[in-house]
Structure 1
């Protein structure tokens, strides 16, 4: 029984490490996505200003709710 507990403990540690690695990767991808979205908004605004038109709203509902969920978990 003790051997099984040790094995499960090590497996749990590995899973927690992998979860942390994936969480950090997701955070970096989210930051990159936000930076790209801001760049796209700036380019569209510049193009719209040059053409004298309005730009569409690029606030994605998925990223907003993900940010709200993340804040709620803290």
Structure 2
């Protein structure tokens, strides 16, 4: 019984470590995603303001309507 408990404890420790690594990776990816969204919004805003200054309000409402998922393959 103690051997089984020891094995389960070690498995649990490994799972906890993997979970922490995945959480850190998710935070990094989220930060990168937010930076890419900001950059895309800025580029869209510049492109629209160069093409037609009267539609600038359309860009801000479109770009803020939802999150854009730009993940690397």
Query: Normalising by structure 1, what TM-score?
Result: 0.76
Once the two structures are superposed, the pairs formed by residues 46-65 of structure 1 within 5 Å of their partners are: 46-52=46-52, 53-54=55-56, 55=59, 56-60=62-66
Larger Rg: 2
Task: Quote the RMSD (CA, aligned, Å).
Answer: 1.9
Task: Say which structure, 1 or 2, has more relative contact order (CA 8 Å, 6+ apart).
Answer: 2
Unpaired segments of 5 or more residues in structure 1?
A: 64-74
Once the two structures are superposed, the pairs formed by residues 12-51 of structure 1 within 5 Å of their partners are: 12-51=12-51
Distance 1:59 1:17, change over 3 A: farther
Distance 1:62 1:35, change over 3 A: closer
Question: Per-residue displacement from partner, 1:20-58 (whole Å, max 9, x unpaired)?
Answer: 000000100000000000000000000111112331233
Distance 1:62 1:45, change over 3 A: closer
